[in-house]
Amino acid sequence: MIYLDYAATTPMMDVSIEAYSLAAKSVYGNTSSLHDAGGQAAFLLENARDVVANKLGVNRDGIIFTGSGTEGNILAIISLARAGKGKHIITSSAEHTSVHAAINTLEREGYEITKLPLTKRGIVDVSMLEQSIRPDTVLITIQHVNSEIGSIQPVKEIAEVAQKYNISYHVDCVQSFCKLDVTEFSKFVDGITVSAHKIGGPKGCGAVYLNPRRRILPLFPGVTHERGLRGGTVDTPAVFAFAKSVEHYQYDFNKFWSLRNQLKESIKDTNCYFIEADEAHQLPSICGLCMKGAEGQYVMLRLNEEGICISTGSACDINSASGTKAILAMGHSLSEARTFFRISFGMDTTEEHIYRLSKALVNLDQDVKK
């Protein structure tokens, strides 16, 4: 099997599996318990909090461990919005499903939402964003890297606009954490979401940074764990393994650009084409493509028969009948969006994998043309 769906999830690294196993066997106390077993668990938890905070370049007091990136997005967006005084939120049409879920919840509570489109290169227009700000704008939530096409949003510039108008800004960094340097903007935003399983850590574990200087309203007042912002006994083994992933995960830009260019060159004579940003705004390991004359789901199923795992977009949108959000937000038609599929590389991806993928795509393209 050739796995090329790393943007959906990644295999756990050995060091993270070992860390999880060690903590599960030996450090099983509740982090809130006052006895020694609880103290041992609390020590691991707080050490992991330091690791994540240092990688993000933020105050450790703002790190809250969650059960996923989805939970982190929902917790951050709703908490930040409800703590503000306005009723207007700015986001993009291409955010992760969890962001739209949080936005939809707030819309039912009377919030007005501005959803910005993407440019033809998959980027939010910062000037359009600034023009969308109103006196009652309470929150901006724009992702760092799009999970479908890998476009890198100008979050530093957006953060500067948010600061200019004293508006809370939340950034979904699930796809960019440990791959891009987030410290250039992290101190200027009020919420950041990350996830463990995108970087070789365990599923069911993530974290959210909420700026301690901002007033935060908990989704469920009265819970006691994680500064009262997230209830439930903390999964210490998962958090410990997450921290090990943060410490050991490596993203090889040169390797992924080389693999991306190899794929481009190999399929240049087919009806496949890339949906992408300019190089300065593109994460190389996420490749969004379309194949004229074939639906993305058909491409995915045919490649699966060849033992090659890809996707038709975000795994969280697998049941959507409307194509992917990113390509639609860029102004492409629904029929074109239905031809979209995504290939994403990881640490174990090789040139041989890309060769076999390219060969399968060329053969499939020939079948479609018949």
Positions annotated as catalytic residues are 316
CB distance 102 to 89 below 8 Å: no
Q: What sign does the CA torsion over 164, 89, 329, 258 have?
A: positive
In the DSSP assignment, the letter for residue 282 is B
Quote the CA–CA distance of 239 and 202 in Å, as a whole number.
8
Residue 88 pairs in a beta bridge with 112, 137
Classify residue 1 as exposed, middle or buried by CB count within 10 Å of its CB (0-12, 13-18, 19+). Answer: exposed
Q: Quickly count: other Cβ atoms within 10 Å of residue 107's Cβ.
A: 13
- Rounded distance between C-alpha atoms, residue 361 and residue 267, angstroms: 7
Match 């962001």 to its residue by tokens: 99
What is the pairing mode between strands 206-210 and 191-195?
Answer: antiparallel
